[in-house]
Each structure stands twice: as structure tokens, then as C-alpha cells.
Amino acid sequence: MGDTGAPTSTERSALLDAPDTSHLAVLDTLLSTHAIHASQPRKSLWLTTHLLALPPLYAYWHITALLPSWRPLPTWSIKRTVGIKLIRYVSRTFFVGNSLPRPDVSQELTKSQLRELERYAARVVWIPPVDLEGVGEPVRGWAEGAGVRPERVRGFWMGENVELPADQEREKGKVMLFLHGGSYIVRPPLLPPQLHLTSKQTGSGHPAQLTSFLPLQSLKHSLTLRAALGIDYRLSATAPNPAVNPFPAALLDALAGFRYLLSLGFAPGQIIIAGDSAGGNLALALVKYLVEVDQLGALLAGLVLLSPWSDMTDSHHSPACSLVRNYRTDYILGLEAGMGTYSVHAFCRHVSPWSAWVSPAAKRPSPAGAASTIGTEGEAAAAAKYPEGTFLHWPRTLLLPGEREMIIDEIRTLRTRMERDGVPLTYREWDGCPHDFLSFWFMEPERTEAVRFVCRWVDEVEELEVPVVPGR
């Protein structure tokens, strides 16, 4: 394929050096300022008081959103305004109470959970682990250094039974490999519109998850998509919990899912890789591997990125950054809660967050501003050590963020770099929408419109219109 954009020998040697953990001390300091109640009675007291406070707060939020001028955006409905507050409140309550939902993705489903899948015409599949000897560098070296071993991967098929040997039309149509969001530490929220939780909700790639709206609805609206495979990749954790599944555990699981599709007989040109939020970050890493190591990336049917997390450093932080200016129009926990810091600490225990494999949109600091921007001289040195993310020979890509989300700045940097490197890119910021807006019931009609937009792109409709966001 000629120049694939793969790291040079010099870059590879830098990537395979002893793990750069200078960032962990900085993250430890930041986490120490944010309480996580892991022991009793503080944990129960925190959860009880905050859950008991939710009903009156819910009523209060409705009252304070009665007039359009009282809402974050006058065009928002009361339902949307309250929904944003609800997601942030519940996320913070369970994060600080050390009770975020984490499925055990190694367990077989119970009979009742299998019956739950029937509601979605979905099937569970156990995907064989990748052979670590068959994984290229630098990923294999990272896995060995971190003590990460390949494991079998749970997945959920949605759509046609393309996985069956009797399928006679495997060469026709497309399949979607879907990677869910959740900050790499939590399964997506399971709150339906009625705000009920059920005991049958089982895991991250499960079709009952809110983030599964994209694959489920894409199967309804696309003319060429036959099935979707949601992957239950391993989630990370760190203190006060046992430290487990750092990078590249999730990448090995995603790679196992991709190779499983190849083993069924699907060609790369039939596979759409899609991910939202942290799943978008994982999709970026997977495609980077396929481009730079397996040299398959340009052959893919496409890459769909919904609000991808693309910078795990603080390189986009400033008093005027989108984390600050879009705080009221999004539900992501801000810098006050430490959830992002926790996620990076758990995920990047053996690799620097400055690596383009985890932060393809990170901006390198200027020498004059390195200390104030990065926080320590060690972090500035780590930033200089890792090459900036590049996207040579990448497949056609759809990048779809919410215009009002808190990480829009880094997504715009990602867009700029993809355009610089010649990626066949379709980009649209959905006006007035928060992070990962396709996942939430209060984001209609925009999320259904967005799914139809995605499906026209998947189907390669020539008349695809890409509205321009004013001022962009």
C-alpha cells in the first residue's frame, strides 16, 4: 500500500520504551481532591441522601424550566432541560458513591436475560480471544507490559442472522461493529423514559442499553445494513477499586470482534466500525491498528464516530474552553467531580495519555506554555515524546458531535487533523445538542434525524446533504 502512516522505527522504539507513568502522580493529586465514598457508612449515607433528594429536585427542575428564558437554550423543551440535569445528577451520585453499574462481561447470561434479548430479536455470541502472538506492535508490547491477556468477548447480534453458516448472502450488504460509550469505566445508563430500572438489564453492548439506539435504529432505516454486533469490551477501574483492565484490554476485545467478522466471511469493505463517546475513542484506536499494523483500514466500509472522546490530556483546557462554556448545555460531569480524571487513571496506567493511540486530538504544548498547560515538567516531556495523531490512508469517516457538547473543542481538532491528512470525511455538528445525543429519549426529533443521516451515509447516498453550522 506504500506509505501507510505507520510509526517509523524511531517512533516505535519510543512507543515501546518502559511505560511512561509520570502522568499518574498528577492524576493521583487531582483525584485526592475529589471524594469517592467506597467504605461504609459514608457510601450508604451519600447514596441514600442523594436518591431521597431526587424526587423534590426533579419537581424543582421542572418549575425552574417553565419559561424558555430560564432554560440553557430557549429552544429546548422542559423535558430536555430536566433530562440533562437528571443524567448529570444520577451520574455524579453513583460515581461519588462508587456504585456505577459495571457488568461482569465474562459471565453467561441467565435464562431470563436470554428471554430479554428476544424482545430485540437479538442473540448473544461468545467471540474467541485474539492470539496475542498474532497482534502487532506496539499493541502486543503494551499488552505484555501491562499484564493484559486476551479473553473471550461477549457480543450481541442484532438484525439478520448473518452469523449462521446457512446464510447464503454473506457477500451482500454491510454489518456494523458497534462499540458503546461509558468513559471506559461504566456500562451506559439504563434509564428508560419512565425512569424505571430493571433487573434484566445486563451489560454494555446489550440492545437494551441507551447507546444501542444507533445500531438498532440503523437496522430499521438503512437499505444496506444487515446486522450489527455490539461488543462487551472490558472496562477499566482504579483505586478505591481494584485496578483492572488498563489499555489495551478494550482494544484487544475490539480487535477480536473485528477478526470474528472476518472469520465469518465478511470482507473489510462490508464492515462499518461505529462508536460513541469512549466507544468512539476505541473505534479510533481500532482503525489506527487496522491502518498502521494490518494495513486494512483503507479497505473498510467506513467509520462512524458519535461524539468521540479524542483527548485524554488537558491540552484543550482553558477558561474559555467548551468544558466551561458548554457546561449548562451538556450532562457530562465537569472538572468538579473528577470522573474524567478517574477514567484516565484507570485506562492509562501503562501508557501515556499523550499517545496518539488514546488521544489522537491532543494538542502539543508550546515550550513557553508547557509547564502551565500540562501541569508538570514531566508531563511536558511526555507530550513531546509522542508524535501527534495522524490519519493517512484512513477509510471514509462520518464525524457527528453535538454542537453544544462539552468536548466539542477536541472534536473540532480531530476534524482538522483528519481533513489535513486527506480522510474522506463527512462532518456535521448537530445544532443545539449535547454529548452523545443519540442515546437519550429527550433528544427527539434530533436523534432520529441523526440516525437517518447516518444511514444515508452508510448507504452511500450521493444526495447526502451536510448542513453547515453557522460560523464553523
Kindly list the catalytic residues: 277
Rounded-to-integer distance, Cα 117 and Cα 313, Å = 38
Strands 153-159 and 225-232: antiparallel
H or E segment to which residue 383 belongs: helix 377-385
Closest-CA residue to 427 (of 446, 453, 404): 453
The count of C-alpha atoms lying within 13 angstroms of the C-alpha of 445, restricted to the half-sphere facing its C-beta, is 3
Who contacts 448 (Cβ-Cβ below 8 Å, separation ≥6)?
217
The bridge status of strand 302-306 relative to strand 271-276 is: parallel
Handedness of CA 106, 109, 114, 120 (dihedral sign): negative
CA distances from 36 to 24, 235, 304, 347 (A): 18, 18, 34, 18
Tell me the C-alpha distance between 297 and 392, whole Å: 10
Which positions ≥6 away from 49 have C-beta within 8 Å?
none
Q: Measuring CA to CA, which residue among 171, 166, 161, 125 is closest to residue 265?
A: 171
Which of 286, 470, 311 is CA-nearest to residue 395?
Answer: 286
Residues 6+ apart with CB under 8 A from 90: 54, 189, 191
Rounded distance between C-alpha atoms, residue 306 and residue 181, angstroms: 9
